[in-house]
Chain A
């Protein structure tokens, strides 16, 4: 059974059809890249997978881990192992980063009937992951994303992913706004998390990221439809030819 099966997915935003029949199958252990020009529907797909309510699914089906994903609320999907690394991570003033992540981890643990983790147990785990992302320990108690640089915000997303250990990670334009060093660190973090139990969907506009995170499959999304699929070589080809739909 596949981890994720998207069938004929149609999605409207403000009565405007953005996704027009997406078909996509992702197995555990695979890394898929979704590429496409601006406005093609890449981010919409990412948000629908994370169950953002503003998106109106008019047709189609998403089966995740044998369950109907479209029946789940955002928090339920999260607890079932769907993780979205945001393109624009949100600031939560007054809430310490470590406290926030421990709350998230405990919400998920609670969902699975596990004991909550106290601060003493959490701290070493948190510090270990900080190291992986080459992040400063001062980020421990700073408010969530508040006053973070663009690169720090993106790293903070991957840090959360490393802590929450999702089954399906969706990375929405994680490379945007990153300089080459930050990109390398983020990619290292992501690559460490690749595992046979975990699938990733890497949404990106540029081929650049895929030099660091080499996908198993590349899909080209244009105007709400996947128009081509292939291996990593497809990304390189796109770099040459652009996103023009072949005749």
Chain B
């Protein structure tokens, strides 16, 4: 029993060794950013003229911001200055070295996969092991794509969409997050590598969860990902992003943009599990994840729901938001953010109520362990015309140990006196009494922490698709390893 605990602790102390990702076929352009680089990226991606123009405008805007030192500094996170001229902004789609079998994989990664309960075939795909024909993910994905195509649903990489559906991209790109929105959104617009594109036509309910999983080998995205999802009138779609397996990337700076557009009576549910490399026990390395995610409920009775479980990255800066423009539209945000070791997260949401009788719900659960710093930052804005708007916000923090921190910055702005606002907040510590109670019933300390944390997050997990929820629970347990002494 105690040796079991020791093993887990030893494991948690180990460093990640991710030597299995190696570039073959490397095609890179020199470091740094300039108009030439933007042109080169666009050419290499064989983009139409309008795309290049848009990238260039974004670049000029970004360059002006950078010159003015307008990189946002308001977030409650600390990191050394980023040298934007020391980053490679384009490298050709990389291929992972194919392994013969999982035995060749770092045993620790294998153990993590097992702890997360990732199916064997999926493990192989993640690790880049050649998958035999029967389980070939590409053929599975192709089957699904056929079914989607029958319904007129477009689900492809962003690059493909730019080439094959330029009219849709042109119409909606930047309509929710314009390149002028913020520093990182401008950077992304200038250099974005790839991402996903989804269009669900009028009246169609997408019959399955759309997941990036189906495109694992389709495109190397990562650093400057850009996703656009459009649900036309009466359409609905549920999209899953990320996976629970830890993902290591040699690029430290990530600046993704996600735009969602819901027209009349449309619904979009967007679920994320983010587990980018968080850095080592001392806080070295790790991904800086500066993400702009926003959905626009453009039509009446439309609904956009964000659910996120954030456990990875050294720094997370992310506010999935909803613009509630259509009357009776609904915005939701359910979030679990966990910071352990030296991770920092500044995350939350914005709910902008424009239309009448618009409603929003915010449930945020922040967990801090180790030296982790966790900040909730949320804005609820009720504009003048938003007669009868309602918001409910619940914002809870859980502390594990005495070296971590939880911070809450709610901003509430109400310009219509008919608005109804509710705000609940709490901060608690995993109590010695709770731990003792569970251990007295036979549960190991690690399991006791997991149980308490999972109970704390239950309200959010309920919003995740079933399988994802089970994985997310395990992910939290794994992410918390070593957090109890």
Contact = CB atoms under 8 A, between A and B. Distances in A.
A107 B443 contact: yes
A75 B454 contact: no
Contacts of A90: 431, 433-434, 436-437
A84 B440 contact: yes
Contact of B444 (A75, A88, A164): A75
Interface string B281-309: 00000000000000000000000000000
Best-surrounded residue of B434, B437, B447 (most CB of chain A within 10 A) = B437
Contacts of B447: 103, 107
A163 to B, nearest CB: 10
Interface in A73-118: 73-79, 83-84, 86, 88-90, 92-95, 100-101, 103-105, 107-108, 111
B459 interface: yes
B438 interface: yes
A79 to B, nearest CB: 5
B1 A79 contact: yes
B1 to A, nearest CB: 6
B67 interface: no
B337 interface: no
Contact of B455 (A52, A54, A93): A93
B411 to A, nearest CB: 27
B119 interface: no
Contacts of A95: 451-452, 454-455, 458
A100 B456 contact: no
Contacts of A107: 441-444, 447
Nearest to A160: B441
A78 B1 CA distance: 12
A94 B458 contact: yes
A60 B437 CA distance: 25
Nearest to A86: B437
Given A90-B434, A93-B455, A94-B458, A111 B442 contact: yes
A92 B455 CA distance: 7
A50 interface: yes
B437 A103 contact: no
Interface in B1-26: 1-2
Interface string A39-70: 00000000000111110000000000000000
A94 B454 CA distance: 7
Interface in B69-121: none
A107 B439 CA distance: 10
A27 interface: no
Best-surrounded residue of B1, B436, B441 (most CB of chain A within 10 A) = B441
A100 B451 contact: yes
Given A92-B438, A164-B442, A75 B456 contact: no
A143 interface: yes
B456 A93 contact: yes
A68 B440 CA distance: 17
Interface residues of B, number: 25
Nearest to B452: A92
B442 A94 contact: no
Interface string B214-246: 000000000000000000000000000000000
B434 A92 contact: yes
Given A50-B440, A84-B440, A73 B451 contact: no
B443 to A, nearest CB: 5
B451 A74 contact: no
A27 B456 CA distance: 42
Contacts of A52: 436
A88 B437 CA distance: 10
Interface string B443-477: 11101000110111111000000000000000000
Nearest to A85: B440
Contacts of A76: 1-2
A89 B437 contact: yes
Contact of B445 (A75, A84, A105, A108): A75
B36 interface: no
B402 interface: no
B432 interface: yes
A90 B439 CA distance: 12
A100 B438 CA distance: 9
A86 B438 CA distance: 11
A128 B443 CA distance: 23
B432 A78 contact: no
B441 A94 contact: no
B442 A78 contact: yes
Nearest to B432: A54
Interface in B188-219: none
Contacts of B458: 93-95
A74 B440 contact: yes
A226 B367 CA distance: 46
Contacts of B1: 75-76, 79, 111
B2 A104 contact: no
Nearest to B453: A94
Interface string B404-441: 00000000000000000000000000011110111111
Contacts of B438: 92, 104
Nearest to B456: A94
Nearest to A145: B437
Contacts of A160: 441
A135 to B, nearest CB: 18
A107 B446 CA distance: 12
Best-surrounded residue of A50, A74, A84 (most CB of chain B within 10 A) = A74
Contacts of A75: 1, 439-440, 442-445
A74 B439 contact: yes
B75 to A, nearest CB: 29
B455 A108 contact: no
Interface in A101-155: 101, 103-105, 107-108, 111, 143
Contacts of B440: 50-51, 74-75, 77-78, 83-84, 86
18 contacts: A54-B432, A74-B439, A75-B439, A76-B1, A78-B442, A79-B1, A86-B440, A90-B434, A90-B436, A92-B434, A92-B438, A92-B451, A94-B455, A95-B451, A100-B441, A101-B441, A104-B442, A107-B447
Q: Which 8 A-B pairs have the closest CB atoms?
A: A94-B455, A94-B458, A104-B441, A107-B442, A95-B455, A74-B439, A90-B437, A78-B442
Given A75-B442, A103-B443, 8 more contacts: A74-B440, A78-B442, A90-B437, A92-B438, A92-B452, A94-B454, A95-B452, A108-B442
